[in-house]
Amino acid sequence: MSHDTTIPVFDAVRALAFIGDLSMGQPIDHSLRTAWLAGKIAARAGCTAPQIEAARHAALLRWSGCTANAQEFADFLDDDVEGRRALLASSAPRMRQPHDSAPVPGAVLAMAEIHCEIAGDIAHTLGLSHDTEATLRAVFEAYDGSGVPGLLRGEAVPFSTYVVALASDLEIFGRLYGVEQALALVRGRADSLYPAALLDASAADLAAWMQALDAPAAPWAEAAEQPDSMRRPMGLELVGDVIDLKLPWMTGYSRRVASLARDCGARMGLDEAGCGRAYKAGLIHGIGRASVPNAIWNAPGPLQASALERVRLVPYWTSRAAGQIDGLAAEAEIASFAFERRDGSGHFRGRSGAAMPLEGQVVAAAEQWWSHCTRRPWREALTREQAAERMQEDAAAGRFDAAVVEALCASTLPGAVPPKPAAPAQDDASLSQRELEVLRCISRGDNTKEVARALGISPSTVRTHVERVFQKLGCTTRAAATLKAATRGLI
């Protein structure tokens, strides 16, 4: 059975923008508002049409690298979501002052490198303009050279980078503190983060722009107003792969849930369209995970009430975010049932029995199955037989429909036909079997010593293989290698 798993590039970009907003602790319209402002600022500054387009698209994808460095951010600031929110809202002086000779902390450099490489690779994969990709790869550079990594300054930085930085500051400060205070705050960053002339060109219009943004009818561009590059179809799998970058142990998780939901749905008698919806819902069911700090996901024991409430809201945020995309509205509704149970014990609605659509039930069962079969930092994965026993116990207790569990087990236990893996891209450099083994290990978050122990080789040999993998995939970070490997069917 074949089904169309593609969506317009514009819908994928909007989904990635929502994931970024949740990762940054922002309202889910932050990137949309910023993109609209960026277009206005760029036009007022006399930018060309390609520069305006690059600014708008880069603003939507500015935070698309946030899931990739979430664990590093959690190690640095404990709460990766709240820490980022506080950094964006702060009007305090930046970590590096102009011409400060103190080096940037290594952790900050590493996080910026991961973020920019992933965001640039996403733009490249989506087929967006070179200007958009260049803007994202330099998104933390500053006009006076005090940015991160601090390799570019002045005219060497893509002009759209300045437009996006100014638009983001104005959107956040304007929303939090009002127009006058926002202007005062960004003036303090003029000729530092961005050229003062850019602010001067747009300051007089800010009050009108903010009023338009806050109007009942949102002014930002719809898909019909986008260039052809934003209307062409692309696989939704990229969105699932970006979701999974947040937690190393979830690499490939969304694809596995999607494939199992599709196969289980087929056995339950869903037609081609229904199986397609279940598959797409499986790919996006984890969008809301971006709103929850990694420390909560990695916690081994029972969660406190406040943490548990954040986890319970994951499907709500998935529904709210993806539900605003016309091309994914039906799938977002199905995905919102990923953690519901037939006895009403699930979340976020606590729906039960017949109130759960069949497509939602198969996604929920597929998610629970792969939750059992996925290793966590504090426990090993269950075997398929053990997972089947757990699922059957849940069915007996009324948490899942027995027929759904039977169909799911028939799709997963020995004898079932495995899903066909994605074919690697034809232009991929050939990876050796050992390099593939190392790639699979690092994609799960294993460090060099853990990979060496698992494969029975020395740490120096692991490092050599990692360098070769990076060279062949054209990347410099483990997160980028993981994303490229997932999108190309290598893991």
- Same domain flag for 174 and 241: no
pLDDT for res 421: 45
Q: Is residue 228 part of a domain?
A: no
Residue-wise pLDDT tens digits, 432-479? 999 999 999 999 888 899 999 999 999 999 999 999 999 999 999 999
Q: Is the pLDDT score of 97 beyond 60?
A: no
Instruction: Compute the average pLDDT of residues 407-420.
Output: 70
User: In terms of residue numbers, what domain contains 452?
Assistant: 433-487
pLDDT of 419 strictly over 80:
no
Q: How much is the pLDDT for 32?
A: 94
What pLDDT score does 89 carry?
87
Residues 393 and 441 in one domain: no
Confidence of residue 99 (pLDDT cuts 50, 70, 90): very low
**Residue-level pLDDT at 414:** 63
Q: Is the pLDDT of residue 422 over 50?
A: no
- The total domain count for the chain is 3
CATH number at residue 85: 1.10.3210.10
Instruction: Report d(CA 8, CA 123) in Å as an integer.
Output: 14
- pLDDT tier at 276, thresholds 50, 70, 90: very high
Per-residue exposure over 119-157, b if at least 16 CB sit within 10 Å of its own CB, e if not: bbbbbebbebbebbbbbbbbbbbbbbbbbbebebeeeeb
Is 27 a domain residue?
yes
Q: Are 331 and 281 within 8 A, CB to CB? A: yes
pLDDT surpassing 70 at residue 420: no
If asked whether residues 183 and 280 sit together in one domain, one would say no
Output the pLDDT for position 226: 78
In a domain, 426, yes or no: no
Q: How far apart are CA 490 and CA 484, in angstroms?
A: 8
Per the domain annotation, does 229 fall within a domain? no
Q: Return the higher-pLDDT residue of 490 and 357.
A: 357
Average confidence score pLDDT of the chain: 90
Give burial (CB, 10 Å; 0-12/13-18/19+) of 37. Answer: buried
Whether 320 and 211 share a structural domain: no
Last residue of a domain, one of 160, 186, 218: 218
pLDDT band with cut points at 50, 70 and 90 for residue 175: very high
Residue 419 located in a structural domain: no
Residue 223 located in a structural domain: no
For residue range 112-133, what is the model confidence (pLDDT) as tens digits?
Answer: 999 999 999 999 999 999 999 9
Report the distance separating Cα 141 and Cα 154, nearest Å: 10
Clarify whether residues 44 and 162 are in a common domain.
yes
| Same domain, residue pair 394 and 442 | no
Co-location of 78 and 175 in the same domain: yes
412 or 197: which leads in pLDDT: 197
Is 226 inside a domain boundary? no
In the prediction, which pLDDT does 427 show?
A: 45
pLDDT digits (tens, 9 = 90+) for 242-254: 999 999 899 999 9
299 has pLDDT over 50: yes
Comparing 68-77, 119-128, 407-416, 445-454, which segment has the lowest mean pLDDT? 407-416
Question: Are residues 406 and 377 part of one domain?
Answer: yes
Share of the chain above pLDDT 90, in %: 75
CB 22 within 8 A of CB 284: no
Q: Which run of H or of E encompasses 234?
A: strand 233-235
H or E stretch at 72: helix 70-77
Reported pTM: 0.91
Provide the pLDDT for residue 91.
61
Same domain, 71 and 45: yes
Asked if the model's pLDDT at residue 418 lies above 70, the reply is no
User: Where a domain ends, among 381, 412, 443?
Assistant: 412
Question: Is 327 found in the same domain as 447?
Answer: no
Check residue 374 and give its pLDDT: 94
pLDDT class of 425 with cuts at 50, 70, 90: very low
Does some domain include residue 420? no
> Which residues in 83-100 are b (16+ Cβ under 10 Å) and which e?
bbbeebeeeeebebeeee
User: Is residue 352's pLDDT more than 80?
Assistant: no
188 with 294, same domain: the answer is no
Residues 43 and 106 occupy one common structural domain: yes
